[in-house]
Structures are given as C-alpha cells and as structure tokens.
Chain A
C-alpha cells in the first residue's frame, strides 16, 4: 500500500520535557484533498498538527511527505519542502500592508512572485482592494484571508490551517470554507483543525476525530457525520 502524500504516522510526543500529549496518533492527507481534525477541547488537535509541522518533538512514529521521512526537519526546513502553516493567532504582520504580508510569505523564493500574488488576489478579491492597507486594520475574516494568502505565497503542496474560522461570523465562515475548497481543487493538500465540526466534516474528504491524543474515529467526512457514535458523543445532534 502506498503512503498518502503527507502522513503523520503513529506519532507520540509532547512539548519539551513534558509528558506525551499524543499517543500513537495518525493523520494523513492525499494530494488535493481536505483532511479535517476535529475533537473536543484538549483532545490534542492543534498539538497533532504542530507535530506534523515539526513544532513539537515526535518521540515515536514518523512524519513523511511524498514518501520522504521529514521527522527530524525544523519547521523552517519543512516550509522549504513545500509545507505551509497558518497559526491560529498572530498569523499576520499587523503593522505591514497586505501586499507586504504576501511578499514576506514568499521570502524564501528567488523567482518572480507577481503571478502567485495575482492568484491570491483572484482567490481573495477583497485583498486586492486593500493591498496598501495595514493588515492589522482589517476585519477578522479579512485577516484570515491575509493569513491564508501569506501561506499560499510559497506555492506549497500542503497547506495546514489551525482553526481558520475561529472568531469569524457564520457567513464569513462559509465563504472561507468555499475558498479552502477552491485551494484544494488546485492540487494543494489541506490539513486543518476545526472547532465547527459539522460544517468542516461536510467539506472534508477525510476526517479524524481525536480524543485525548488518540485517534477515536477515522473516516470520510460523510461517514463520520453519519456515524451514530460520533453524532451522539461529539456532534451533539441526534
């Protein structure tokens, strides 16, 4: 069986000298698909994502990108390998303009970035209108667009989003999800953590329900939404 494009395979680990937060947790995403990590508070969702991105020590298990073992690489090196990460908070340069934010996203690139910048502006037209404005002056939803746009500037193969819809209104949330689907259609794999589990699973090709750092349920988004146990214990519906 061939590996998925990106896989965090049976990862265990924690922060610094602390105890393990993840216990043999597996996350994977195929090329151009959307994988969503959901779970109750404190389930280790963000931690699992940080483990995949190298912001936390993976003590057991491995992270492989396109078949290559990248477990030992630093986050910066992973960026160079084509991974992009949008943190949950402080994910933009507030004092810099929207355009400068995008330029900084492409800092590692030596080639002409105007094409990629045009694609980001096509994806988020509002950013084009506001490109000379300081990013810190924008609304919550627009800031998230800047954050995603910044991450896209490296032309990544994998985009990792930590709660992209935290603190935005439901309408803006729907729009952001639409944009994320569009990004996935261009062939970029998306791995994201979401609080709004129901909506997120609806757009997910693959869903992971984590409980206490372990894989509780895994399946396609639809399967999870229809799984009675997931519905009862976690989605809170009938």
Chain B
C-alpha cells in the first residue's frame, strides 16, 4: 500500500505536471528549432509570439463566451485556437515582409538577425501589454478535472489522491496530434521535404529549384501554429501573463539547444528533459520518501533540492553543461 501511495504521489506531483509542462516546452522548442533550421537564426521573439497567439485566442474565447458559444466539457479556447493561429500567422508573415525580408535580401549575418528578432520581441511585448494588459488572465472553462483527487481516493481506496486536470490531458493529446502531423508533414509531403532540403543544404536546394521565399513563408506559418498552440496550452494549464511568457523563452531555448538546434526530434526530447529536471529538482520529496523508506530513515525536512524560485536556474545550468560538453546537442543539430 505504501508503495502504491508513493507512486500516486509521484504521479500527481511530478509525472503528470512534468509531462504536460514538457509538452508545452516541446511545442515551443519545435518552433524555435524550425526557424533556426530554415532561417538560420535564434528567434528571440518566440516567447512573445506565444504570448501574442495566446492573447488573440483569449480575445476570441471571450467573444465566443459572450455569444454563449461553448463546446463543454472542452474549453472554449480550443474553438478559438484556429482563429488565434490565423491571426498570429498573419502577424508573422507581415513581420517577415516588413522586417526580416530586408535583412535576408542583404544576406545579413545570423547575429544581426538575432538582434532584429530581439527588436521584434520588444515590439510584440509592448503590443500584447497594450491590448490585453500586463496582468494575469484566466480563460479556462469547461470541465476542470478528468479525474479529481477525491474521486480517485474513492475509486481506489488509497489514502493519496491523484488529480488529472483536463488542461493537462488536453495538453498531452494536442501535443501528440501536433507532433504527429508536423512529422508527417516534414517527412511525407513535398513542401515538408523541400523545407528539410533547404535546412540541410541551402545552395543545393536553390540549384534544385526550391523557392526559398515559399519555404520561409511556410516556416513562419508552422512556427505560428506551434507557438500559438503552446501558448494557449500553457495558459489553460497555468494562467496567461505576458511576463511569464517572456520568461518561458529560457526553458524553450534550453530545450531546443539541449536536443540539438535544427533537429525537431531533439526539440521534443529537450522539452521533456528540461521539464523533468525542473520539476524533480524543485519538488519536495518528503512525502514520497516517507512512504518508501522505513520510519527511521524518513527525512525531517522537505527534502527539496531547490526552491521553486530557482526553476529557471535549472534550465540555465543544463544549457551551460550541454554547451560545454555537447555543443551540437544530444541529437546532433547544428552548432550554436
């Protein structure tokens, strides 16, 4: 019984939260890694693109709620998501037309493009705050739990409860679908293959007649889809706040770099590695230890390695370690 209880506690506080947080990071990191592979620069505006996409989706959600539109038990935000994606994709394509295209034509160095994306980041940062405000927004409706802690206890008779929130379930399902569709697209369709070819060898892609501007446009649209989806899922799971999304840039980049920049598979693995490291290192293990160890060995303190305030330090440390020992990332992407 103690062992089962320990497992339940672990699943409730570590496994499920880390998997859903990892999925959100993976979606974010996929966007970063794709832009890096195709456009060859680190897009610092990605965190704020997630914020922008989530914001547009929230506005649509509120509008739908005002009209009384609902797809309960699923959150209304899911209905608003395609609209959020469309607006965000439009915004990205306009940004490319007005900003990035100029630098591409002049064959600007990657570092210049990174600085350009920093500028785009600040603008988006401001735009989001002007439109929706800097405060926290909650927009989750529909059923709150798939399994609540109380139901779980009644069902199993265990003394520990396992809560599985619908936002977590939704995150996992949506991530699985998005990743499957993305890989199908990259590996099976002509456009997807041309994107991989362009990322692999730009000159040869041009010699083969691949249109670089089309590849770039498709990349921005996919980045918009991934960023908006990640942003909305994170907002449903926790809450929407522009500053939090700006901070997400660090774990998202850490995930992309740990997996190997430019490698989609690596971005996914990186997302879960970062999420699990953050959650396990900042989790108070006292309860699990109490169940698992004999009474004499039970810890007095919380058995927490790091305070949750330091969770960003975890991604940063992993990032530094990977850059020192494996600069191409675990899945061999491009050098940073």
Q: Which residues of A contact B (CB under 8 A)?
A: 75-76, 79-80, 85, 87, 90-96, 100, 103-105, 107-108, 150, 154
**In whole angstroms, what is the CA distance A85 to B206 when docked?**
11
Cβ-defined partner of B201 (8 Å) among A94, A108, A154: A94
B residues less than 8 Å from A91 (CB atoms) = 204
Contact A100 B193 (CB under 8 A): yes
Cβ-defined partner of B209 (8 Å) among A94, A96, A107: A107
Contact A76 B200 (CB under 8 A): no
Contact A104 B203 (CB under 8 A): no
B122 → chain A, closest Cβ, in Å? 34
A227 → chain B, closest Cβ, in Å? 35
A103 touching B193 in the complex, CB below 8 Å, given contacts A92-B201, A94-B200: yes
A-B contact pairs, 28 of them (CB 8 A): A75-B207, A76-B206, A76-B207, A76-B209, A80-B209, A90-B201, A90-B203, A93-B197, A93-B204, A94-B200, A94-B201, A95-B196, A96-B196, A96-B197, A96-B200, A100-B196, A100-B197, A103-B190, A104-B193, A104-B197, A104-B205, A107-B190, A107-B197, A107-B208, A107-B209, A107-B210, A108-B209, A150-B208
Given A75-B206, A104-B197, A108-B209, 17 other A-B residues pairs in contact with their CB atoms under 8 A: A75-B207, A79-B207, A87-B203, A87-B204, A90-B201, A90-B203, A90-B204, A93-B197, A93-B201, A94-B201, A96-B196, A100-B197, A103-B193, A104-B194, A107-B210, A150-B204, A154-B209
Contact B204 A92 (CB under 8 A): yes
A residues less than 8 Å from B200 (CB atoms) = 93-96
A16 → chain B, closest Cβ, in Å? 12
B residues less than 8 Å from A108 (CB atoms) = 208-209
User: In the complex, which range does the number of interface residues on chain B fall in?
Assistant: 10 to 19
A residues less than 8 Å from B196 (CB atoms) = 93, 95-96, 100
Q: Which of B193, B200, B204, B207 has the most CB of A within 10 A?
A: B207
* Chain B residue nearest to A101 in the complex (CB): B197
B254 → chain A, closest Cβ, in Å? 23
**In whole angstroms, what is the CA distance A90 to B207 when docked?**
12
A214 → chain B, closest Cβ, in Å? 28
A74 → chain B, closest Cβ, in Å? 9
* Chain A residue nearest to B203 in the complex (CB): A90
Top 3 closest A-B pairs, CB basis? Answer: A108-B209, A93-B200, A104-B197
B6 → chain A, closest Cβ, in Å? 44
**In whole angstroms, what is the CA distance A93 to B201 when docked?**
6
Q: Which of B194, B205, B209, B210 has the most CB of A within 10 A?
A: B209
A residues less than 8 Å from B190 (CB atoms) = 103, 107
B220 → chain A, closest Cβ, in Å? 21
A residues less than 8 Å from B204 (CB atoms) = 87, 90-93, 150
B residues less than 8 Å from A92 (CB atoms) = 201, 204
A79 → chain B, closest Cβ, in Å? 5
B residues less than 8 Å from A75 (CB atoms) = 206-207
Contact A104 B208 (CB under 8 A): yes
A225 → chain B, closest Cβ, in Å? 32
Q: Which of B193, B197, B204, B206 has the most CB of A within 10 A?
A: B204
**In whole angstroms, what is the CA distance A105 to B194 when docked?**
10
B residues less than 8 Å from A79 (CB atoms) = 207-209
* Chain A residue nearest to B193 in the complex (CB): A100
B13-48 vs A, CB cutoff 8 Å, 1 = contact: the mask equals 000000000000000000000000000000000000
* Chain B residue nearest to A84 in the complex (CB): B207
B residues less than 8 Å from A95 (CB atoms) = 196, 200
Q: Which of A76, A80, A85 has the most CB of B within 10 A?
A: A76
B76-118 vs A, CB cutoff 8 Å, 1 = contact: the mask equals 0000000000000000000000000000000000000000000
**In whole angstroms, what is the CA distance A236 to B193 when docked?**
47
Contact A96 B208 (CB under 8 A): no
**In whole angstroms, what is the CA distance A85 to B196 when docked?**
20
* Chain B residue nearest to A85 in the complex (CB): B207
B245 → chain A, closest Cβ, in Å? 32
Contact A104 B210 (CB under 8 A): yes
* Chain A residue nearest to B332 in the complex (CB): A95
B residues less than 8 Å from A100 (CB atoms) = 193, 196-197
B329 → chain A, closest Cβ, in Å? 14
B41 → chain A, closest Cβ, in Å? 19
A95 → chain B, closest Cβ, in Å? 5
Contact A107 B201 (CB under 8 A): no
Contact A105 B208 (CB under 8 A): yes
A87 touching B207 in the complex, CB below 8 Å, given contacts A96-B193, A107-B194: yes
A residues less than 8 Å from B197 (CB atoms) = 93, 96, 100, 104, 107
* Chain B residue nearest to A151 in the complex (CB): B207
Q: Which of B194, B196, B208 has the most CB of A within 10 A?
A: B208
* Chain B residue nearest to A86 in the complex (CB): B207
**In whole angstroms, what is the CA distance A94 to B202 when docked?**
12
A181 → chain B, closest Cβ, in Å? 24
* Chain A residue nearest to B199 in the complex (CB): A95
A residues less than 8 Å from B208 (CB atoms) = 79, 104-105, 107-108, 150
A residues less than 8 Å from B206 (CB atoms) = 75-76
